[in-house]
Chains A and B, each alone.
Chain A
Amino acid sequence: MGLHNGDKMMRYEEWSKLARKASKRSLWMVHFCTGCGAIEMPPVMTSRYDMERFGIASMATPRQADVLLITGYLTVKTLRRVIQVYEQMQSPKYVIAFGSCTINGGMYWDSYNTIKHLEKYIPVDLYIAGCMPRPEGIINAFLELMKLIDEGKARGWERYQKYYDKYKENQRRVFNFEVKEEKEEKEQKREKNEEH
């Protein structure tokens, strides 16, 4: 990936209550929808279950957004792009994960190509159970996220900074199928076997 998240470690308590209130009522989501949940988003955005009344709007680029919605399963290929998008967002940023595939692999629990636990790779603030959750569930989730922001409990971005190395290790493991140290161990073992 090559991108170093070089922000200072910012303490959540410094962020004033007013800023949290402003952020809670003006969440902007990245218009990036993967998997099956993408079809549940248009009803949420349009007249039937209007999400704009809470101030949530969809934005074109991650630079302009606060919330990243992972709306379904993630293949390894998509995970790489999702991480790129997540790192291009500006903190404070939140992630909402839809569906069972992000919780424990869901329908694709035995696939070689999807990821099973999203929390290992990017910090998730809120999961929505279901396969796929209906728009009412999504609206409920947004309201829950707003409550969490207000209480100061939605701290995924802080987690990402604090445990950055561990997240990176997880990501590298799934992209390269082998971590560099394990590769070196295997090389050394093979050399030792050859010597014998």
Chain B
Amino acid sequence: MLDIIFAELVVAAIITFFVREKLAAIIAFFISLLPLLALLDWASNYGFNLINLGIENHMKIYLAGVTLHLAITPLSWFFALMILPLFPVIMLYSYSFFKENDGFFALMLLSLLATFGILLSRDMLSLFLFWEMMSWSSFLLVYRSKDKNAIMSYLIFSVFAAFAILFGIIILWHENSSLLLSDILNISGKLGFVAIASIITGFAVKAVIMPLHAWAPFVYSKCDEPFVAFLSGGLSKLGYYGIFLFLFSLKGVDILQNYMTNVSWNYLLAVFGALSAFFATLIAILQDDLRKLLAYSSIGQLGYIAIGFGIGTPLAITGALFQAFNHAFFKAVLFLAAGIVAYRTGKWKISELGGLAYKMPFTFMATLFAIFALAAIPITSGFASKWLLYEAAIQQKYVFIAPIMLIAGVGAFLYSFRILYGVFLGENRHDSVEEAPKSMIAALFILVLPLIIFVVFPGYMLDLMKPALEAAGIESIAHTKFAIETSLAKYNSIAVLITLMVAMIPALVIYKARKHRVTSFEDNYLAGEPYELHKPAMHAANNYYKPLKKVLLPYLEPGATYYFEKIYNGIKCVSNAVRRIYTGYVQDYAIYVVLFLLFVMGWLIWI
């Protein structure tokens, strides 16, 4: 069955390259539903009860003399639930987004093929093969943006990631003389450590962990929003899938934990995650470009997942996977909403936008839900994931990581409000803006749905995660449908929700007891100045966090990009020096050959 899906995807990709954009969107939408439906069908064979399920539906593809092993595992099922729904939604959204078809849909279908392959691959060769396919199809999509910084940085980092992964894979293959993931039992000593470290570094490039995040702000801010929604919602999760695979899923990987020291090396991952959460949140607060703000916010929120993997306890891993699930959806909603704003108004900078909430109420509502989940307001599912991570850090007594995580959580409020106030609330500066096209709104609300469902049922999400965790040998934490219980405290989401509704009663009583009158925007307190006299600027969204900028900018200026640029310049200098060997004169080349022969003869004589 899987090969049929692969074949269909390739054919559809070829077809959508040649048709007009609306037809291409429709074809892409229906085809991209296929992998998801296939997985749901597979899971329903077991009644969605995937616990104690090993590798099923093992399929071998013979390709030029090598065998690729593909199979669906509980872990890939969980990650597929996160990533695959994004594709049909993005196709639905792109139905109205693009004015012409220049290969977007074909490349997205190829990316879907590659994603599906990565999630299903059971041996390292197919993993690498599909990873590379994902890299070049997304690179072509980045290339469409025609921005030099984005293209170059994405290319260089992708190639670096690919080499790092390949390096690790070759070492592991050499040690174990087999490419199957289930055969890797001998990871020990220095070689094993280097292999796993380089593989994780390679995956960490795509799952943006500082300091390997430098490509993300350029790429996220210059590409089309539907693609960026996939990049930040889906591709980063694939990076984390790889990290999870090589950190927890392999049988022999426990040997590494205490290599050379008493402290687990996972702690380093947690530290990088915490630093990326902290610094990225602070940088996001100071941004003016909406897309760059969302890019840095992505880096920050993804850092939480790294913290969870780094801490390594069952509580932490549960929280990390929950955070990954939430992030996929709310970040996709935010990027798609940014795309709607740009589609309707044509502006990127928050200082030029304003007052769109009453003109675009549905977009505003969807963004509001997504921001509630991002900022971890207790009545949303985003809070449950962050709560699990905080509990894990306190349980392990990681006193450096815990305050940084918490401050990054508070910092999320700041840039969330910047988005809400600068873009949606405040003074309306656009005359003729209407609501977004219906397909885009539908796409947004489909994505918001899981965030609402898991509000009240965090236990349901933990049930979904159980098969994946058990397959990796991690026990799950005590929970019921509504409440999660850890050794430190309990979180009962239904209690919060019911109390909120009951506490809303006095507020509603006060609200309804007295009538109120709605006034216009011009009837604001301006120290008595009539608005129509000078029409002053009323939108305070330019340079919004100026006091914070004044204090923080000196500390945030030397960022990772600065150091990467220094490395780049250094390599450029060295390459320039090497280039001078090729002078273009045949006489110089003749002298080189003569010198080389003299050297060889001299060496042979000496020996």
A–B: direct contact at CB < 8 Å = yes
Name the A residues within 8 Å of B530 (CB-CB). Answer: 1-2, 80-81, 84
Q: Nearest chain-B residue to A87 (Cβ)?
A: B523
Q: Which residue of A lies closest to B525 (CB)?
A: A61
Which residues of chain B are near A63, meaning CB under 8 Å? 525
| A32 at interface by CB-CB < 8 Å | yes
A interface residues, tally (CB under 8 Å): 15
Cα(A113)–Cα(B532), bound, Å: 23
Q: Is B546 an interface residue (CB 8 A)?
A: no
B535 at the interface (CB under 8 A from A): no
Instruction: Give which listed residue, B517, B525, B528, B532, contacts A82 with CB less than 8 A.
Output: B528
Q: Would you call A85 and B528 a contact (CB within 8 A)?
A: yes
Q: Any chain A CB within 8 A of the CB of B485?
A: no
CA distance A81 to B534 in the complex (A): 13
| A23-49 at interface with B (beta carbon < 8 Å) | 32
Determine if B525 and A62 form an interchain contact, defined as CB atoms under 8 angstroms apart. yes
* Interface pair B532/A88, CB less than 8 Å apart: no
B517 touches A6 (CB 8 A): yes
Is B183 interfacial (CB-CB < 8 Å)?
no
- Annotate B524-544 by CB proximity to A: 1 below 8 A, 0 otherwise: 010111101000000000000
Q: Which residues of the partner chain B approach A9 to less than 8 Å between Cβ atoms?
A: none
Return B236 CB to nearest CB of chain A, in Å. Answer: 46
Q: Which of B517, B523, B529, B532 is close to A7, meaning CB atoms less than 8 Å apart?
A: B517
A22 within 8 A of B: no
Cα distance A80–B528 in the bound complex, in angstroms: 8
Assembled-state Cα–Cα distance A32/B528 (Å): 10
| A3 sits at the interface (CB 8 A) | yes
Contact residues of A between 75 and 130, Cβ < 8 Å to B: 80-82, 84-85, 88
Q: In the complex, what's the smallest C-beta–C-beta distance from B316 to chain A, in angstroms?
A: 48
CA A62 to CA B527, docked complex, whole Å: 9
**Smallest Cβ distance from A29 to chain B, in angstroms?**
15
Nearest residue (CB) in A for B529 is A81
Interface string of B485-529 (1 = CB under 8 A from A): 000000000000000000000000000000001000011010111
Chain B residues contacting A88 (CB-CB under 8 Å) are: 523, 525
* Alpha-carbon separation in the docked complex, A34 to B105 (Å): 67
Contact status B529-A84, CB under 8 Å: yes
Minimum CB–CB distance from A119 to chain B (whole Å) comes to 20
Provide the residues of chain B in CB contact with A80, threshold 8 Å.
Answer: 530
Q: Which residues of chain B have C-beta atoms less than 8 A from A7's C-beta? A: 517
Closest to A81 in B: B528
Q: Which residues of the partner chain A approach B517 to less than 8 Å between Cβ atoms?
A: 6-7
Neighbouring B residues of A32 by C-beta, 8 Å: 528
How far is B523's CA from A62's CA once the two chains are assembled, in angstroms? 12
Question: Nearest Cβ distance between residue A90 and chain B, in whole angstroms?
Answer: 9
| Nearest CB on B from A73, distance (A) | 17
Chain B residues with CB under 8 A of A81? 527-530
Complex Cα spacing A71 to B93, Å: 61
Proximity string of chain A (50-74) to chain B, C-beta cutoff 8 Å, 1 when within and 0 when not? 0000000000011100000000000
Contacts of A84 in B (CB 8 A): 528-530
| Distance in Å: Cβ of A60 to nearest Cβ of chain B | 9
Q: How distant is the Cα of A2 from the Cα of B535 in the complex, in angstroms?
A: 14
Residues of A within 8 A of B529 (CB): 81, 84
Docked Cα-Cα span, A61 to B523, in Å, equals 13
The residue in chain B whose Cβ has the minimal distance to the Cβ of A64 is: B525
Bound complex: CA A148 to CA B522 (Å) = 34
Q: Kindly state the separation between the CA atoms of A81 and B530 in the bound complex, as whole angstroms.
A: 7
A84 to B529, CA, bound (A): 7
A143 and B291 CA atoms in complex are apart in Å by 59
The distance in angstroms between the C-alpha atoms of A82 and B529, with both chains bound, is: 9
CA distance A1 to B528 in the complex (A): 11
Most chain A beta-carbon contacts within 10 A, residue among B522, B528, B530, B532: B528
Question: What 9 pairs between A and B have smallest CB-CB spacing?
Answer: A81-B528, A61-B525, A85-B528, A84-B528, A84-B530, A63-B525, A2-B532, A88-B525, A3-B523
Q: Name A residues whose Cβ lies closer than 8 Å to a Cβ of B.
A: 1-3, 6-7, 32, 61-63, 80-82, 84-85, 88
Q: List 21 A-B contacts (CB under 8 A).
A: A1-B530, A2-B522, A2-B530, A2-B532, A3-B523, A6-B517, A7-B517, A32-B528, A61-B525, A62-B525, A63-B525, A80-B530, A81-B527, A81-B528, A81-B529, A84-B528, A84-B529, A84-B530, A85-B528, A88-B523, A88-B525
| Given A63-B525, A84-B530, 17 additional A-B pairs, CB 8 A | A1-B530, A2-B522, A2-B530, A2-B532, A3-B523, A6-B517, A7-B517, A32-B528, A61-B525, A62-B525, A81-B527, A81-B528, A81-B529, A81-B530, A82-B528, A85-B528, A88-B525
